[in-house]
Structure 1
Amino acid sequence: MPVLCPACGTVNDPDAKYCEECGTQLGDLVEVSTAPEAGETEAVAEQNEATSSTSTPRRACVYCGGSIADDGYCELCGKPAQSERDHWQEAPAAWVGGVCDRGIRHEINEDAMALAADPQPGEFAVLVVCDGVSSTPGSDKASLAAARAATAHLAAGRETDVADGHGDELAQARWSDRMLEAGERSSAAIYEAIGELAARTNPPSCTFAAAVIDGPLVVVGGVGDSRVYWIADSGKSRQLTTDDSWSQEMMAHGMSRQQAESAPQAHSITRWLGADSPDEVPHVVPTYPTGAGWILVCSDGLWNYCSDADDLAELVHRVVGLVGSNPVQVASSLVDWANEQGGQDNITAVLARFDSVVPTPAQPA
């Protein structure tokens, strides 16, 4: 049967996990029983119990276990029902995983991620993070549509490449072209997801950061200020993407990182995915990381508290020392750390693990 959203009353498909209109989670329903009040007759109590058993089950509050009322708030603690978008994790393989979290200050989560990976460590993976622009309502839909469209297109490239039998000498050009196509697919998916909102003066939009791991080769693409890092176990860590932002332009003109990224306009982006974007083409960079380490794709909700690659590497090393090398556990700890720093933005951290030294087969194009 169709599922009625307890928060906004929207009728959703029977298999919907969260409301298409407001994002409220629709799963984990619990039945609510009513104890007889003082002085209530046994007959009335039985009648109330029968009525209760035929009424619509209610969801359990994730904070206290109480029941979510029809207005979308818990009857016991009063907190609003948590949306599925508020916090979730993905782990397509044991060596790849990520966590996406609403943070503390924002009312909704406009970050999104989408992952794909082969079971064999280091063989093939796709990591995509998109951060909805908070000043444009509906950007949560834009980011999720963009992330999923890009991941689907990049993952499909793996199947095509295997079938076509391309060699390593063409890998850089092949994946670079496909990364550019993924940006186009993401943009088209945003248009489809937001519908008539695309015609607004300030339409929904998002950033884009992606990494394709194909054996020793890593190809990254970016639009906006979500980032991809190489976090080395030892040696030099690097930021693999370049931000499209006011702060990046100021650093290019000689301003220090600390000054540029602490300025009020630091997070003003100059390029993004969306109907009003001046340029949606991703910057694409192929590279061959050597040694053991991590590919980290994240939104500014994480790197805003730890921007420099070496500083972020120190944080990751400390987390791994505490929780081990499971990517989801590492990502979850990074998200928790960002929330402890203030959680002023949505936070997404996605990681893929490299465990072996891989010789560089060719210089990046």
Structure 2
Amino acid sequence: MPQMTVCPSCAEPLEPEDVFCGACGINLAQSPATPRGGTGDFVLAAPAHLLLDEPSGPPCAQCDGRIAADGYCDTCGAARPNPRDHVERCLEGVAGVSDRGHRHHRNEDSFTVAATSLPDGASAVVAVVCDGVSSATRPDEASQAAADTASESLLTALEAGTDPTRAMHDALLDAARAVDALADGRAPEPGTNSPACTCVSAVAAGGAVTIGWIGDSRAYWIPDDREAAEPYRLTEDDSWAARMVAAGLMEEAEAYADPRAHAITGWLGADAGELDPHTVTFTPHVPGVILVCTDGLWNYAEAATALADAVPADARTEPLSAARDLVQFALAGGGHDNITVAVLPFPPAPGRRPEAPPTPTLVDLPPTV
């Protein structure tokens, strides 16, 4: 009989003089030298534990796997979440939220919120919202460049005492130049145009609100008391539909139902042609909020009264919560596009009155009846 070197029952290594297995206690004299089904070869004992690679990379949001170095989950293949997929920002007097939505593979919107002081010590609150043109090259870069540049231009001009209307006009042109610069020395991707985006901005300062825009991103005035004062859209789209309505060729509902409705006629980008930024200043006579948003939101409630129904009653005191609710409203409606909205309370803080007496402006909303 061959000498057993391992236990035929548990594979524990044996000494030549062993009569019983020290691990399982089997009587070795009464056991076959070769385990049942074995070959007689030396059998290694099973290790106490297996040494596996430690998990590496951040956890996957879709499953229990990990994100590998290539940016995809090693288990389900999902892509690593992009920090721009969902962005929230909040300051005293302004808040904003941006979300990728359900259908797009990236968020091509961008926004900024900021606050500063005027030379006389009064406060000024700024929000800029930009929507990258999906048919253009690098639309996410275009919207980011425009939002950052417009915000910085506005803050610098307001701090220097520039009139808000002039500051807004110049900021939009500065943003356009920043987007133009993205095309320098780089050809557009095949089948696309140069980097491009739309832009809408709002400044609340000195008891008035100034709005500026190029494209079809919008601004709305939503009063707290919607029975005593009517919500109001403050911008006119640079779009095919708006032109049809302005020319009297179509009713608004018919124009916006047309497949060509959202073809924009104004944008920021190297191939935009000569720009003429739109600006308007108005004096709210009742408390409320200014919404600045991309079409990813207003597509689901185009009319000001319809959008107002989605704005929480406490939007002026809880602007971040209101912005979140509005994004969720668009996601629940389908979330077919990127969604971005900024909420500016007016007056800027609960109980505060405007820092300057209201003066008549181009858009002078009626007082409470």
Give your verdict on TM over 0.5. Answer: yes
The answer on whether the counterparts of 1:197 and 1:204 sit within 8 Å (CA) in structure 2 is no
The residue type paired with residue 181 of structure 1 is D
| Unaligned runs of at least 5 residues, structure 2 | 1-44, 364-369
Deviation of the 1:357 alpha carbon: 5.9
2:246 corresponds to:
252
1:326 corresponds to:
318
For residue 346 of structure 1, the aligned residue among 338, 345, 354 is: 338
Q: CA RMSD in A?
A: 2.6
For residue 111 of structure 2, the aligned residue among 110, 113, 123 is: 113
2:232 corresponds to:
238
Deviation of the 1:278 alpha carbon: 2.1
The structure-2 alpha-carbon separation of the partners of 1:127 and 1:74, relative to structure 1 and needing over 3 Å to count, comes to same
Deviation of the 1:242 alpha carbon: 1.2
2:95 corresponds to:
97
2:3 corresponds to:
none
How many residues of Structure 1 are paired with residues of Structure 2 in the alignment? 304
Distance 1:41 1:325 in 2: 63
For residue 301 of structure 1, the aligned residue among 286, 296, 304 is: 296
1:279 corresponds to:
274
Say whether 1:191 aligns with 2:180.
Answer: yes
- For the pair shown, which has the larger CA radius of gyration, 1 or 2? 2
Deviation of the 1:77 alpha carbon: 4.2
What does 1:57-72 align with in structure 2 at a 5 Å threshold?
57-64=56-63, 66-72=65-71
Deviation of the 1:78 alpha carbon: 3.4
The answer on whether the counterparts of 1:69 and 1:75 sit within 8 Å (CA) in structure 2 is yes
1:206 corresponds to:
197
The answer on whether the counterparts of 2:165 and 2:281 sit within 8 Å (CA) in structure 1 is yes
The answer on whether the counterparts of 1:198 and 1:275 sit within 8 Å (CA) in structure 2 is no
Distance 2:274 2:324 in 1: 33
Distance 2:344 2:316 in 1: 14
TM-score with structure 2 length normalisation? 0.75
Distance 2:197 2:156 in 1: 23
TM-score with structure 1 length normalisation? 0.76
Between 1:352-361 and 1:252-261, the stretch displaced more is 352-361
> 1:135-176 CA deviation, whole Å, 9 max, x = no partner?
113011001110010001101223212xxxxxxxxx7xx222
The answer on whether the counterparts of 1:245 and 1:268 sit within 8 Å (CA) in structure 2 is yes
Q: Equivalent residue of 2:157, what SS?
A: helix
The residue type paired with residue 319 of structure 2 is P
Deviation of the 1:265 alpha carbon: 0.6
The structure-2 alpha-carbon separation of the partners of 1:42 and 1:197, relative to structure 1 and needing over 3 Å to count, comes to farther
The residue type paired with residue 297 of structure 1 is V
Between Structure 1 and Structure 2, the one with more helix by share is: 1
Distance 1:251 1:97 in 2: 33
What does 1:150-169 align with in structure 2 at a 5 Å threshold?
150-161=150-161
2:73 corresponds to:
74
Distance 2:138 2:46 in 1: 49
The answer on whether the counterparts of 2:180 and 2:195 sit within 8 Å (CA) in structure 1 is no
Distance 2:254 2:353 in 1: 37
The residue type paired with residue 114 of structure 2 is A
> 1:329-357 CA deviation, whole Å, 9 max, x = no partner?
11111111101111111100100112456
Deviation of the 1:257 alpha carbon: 2.2
